[in-house]
Chain A
Amino acid sequence: DIVMTQSPDSLPVSLGERAAINCKSSQTILYNSNNKNYLAWYQQKPGQPPKLLIYWASTRESGVPDRFSGSGSGSDFTLSISSLQAEDVAVYYCQQYYSIPPTFGQGTKVEIK
């Protein structure tokens, strides 16, 4: 199985400041035949199911604010929140869908500093 490792586990950020979450896969999740990275990001608020934010490492899901962006390739990826808002407090998960079983990172808790 592909192991996904996120850092940091917890990220205190001031309102209006930038937040960056890293995600590293134990092997490449870049599929050479289509040059796509098989990585998604989800946001989970307390008591709620996860919400899809980004897929193909950098494609924003419909309705997701443009302050959220994804970058990276191969085995190293980043989710960035350009200007943290109060409603962005949540746990964020990366997930690879390159191979079965799909696997998630352990989560990064973003909170207000």
Chain B
Amino acid sequence: QVHLVESGGGVVQPGRSLRVSCEVSGFNLSSYGLHWVRQAPGKGLEWVAVIWFDGIKRYYADSVKGRFTISRDNSKKTVDLQMDSLRAEDTAVYFCAREWDRGSYIFDYWGQGTVVTVSS
């Protein structure tokens, strides 16, 4: 059974850093791209970043480019999102999501999310 579990969320001051993690089970992580998608309180969905199955290709939303870094460790079955220079507008629930097929950007399994609050 496919599972994705996020962790690492919390309250952080503007300008500081936070690292959230997604641990997966029930499938071979090395065969799939993993994405982060966020949802600000009461708002819609915003795609944040992807790391391809090969771990080489990584793409980011313009709103986080240069501040966020996605990485993966297939041996640990985790995908991390390092978030630096955090802003109030980064406050959101952060979901990790598996893509249905390589490079498809269709999200077939999602975690429950981890809450990140950026506030002084």
Interface residues of A (CB under 8 A from B): 40, 42, 44, 48-52, 55, 61, 93, 95, 97, 100-107
Contact = CB atoms under 8 A, between A and B. Distances in A.
Interface stretch (B12-20, B41-49, B66-74, B77-85): B41-49
A87 B98 CA distance: 25
Interface of B: 44-47, 59, 61-62, 95, 97, 100, 104-108, 110-113
A98 to B, nearest CB: 9
A55 B108 CA distance: 10
A50 B110 contact: yes
Given A93-B44, A102-B47, A105-B44, A52 B113 contact: no
Contact of B47 (A40, A104, A107): A104
A20 B71 CA distance: 39
Given A100-B59, A101-B61, A49 B47 contact: no
A104 B100 contact: no
A101 B100 CA distance: 17
A64 to B, nearest CB: 11
A51 B111 CA distance: 10
Contact of B108 (A48, A52, A93, A106): A52
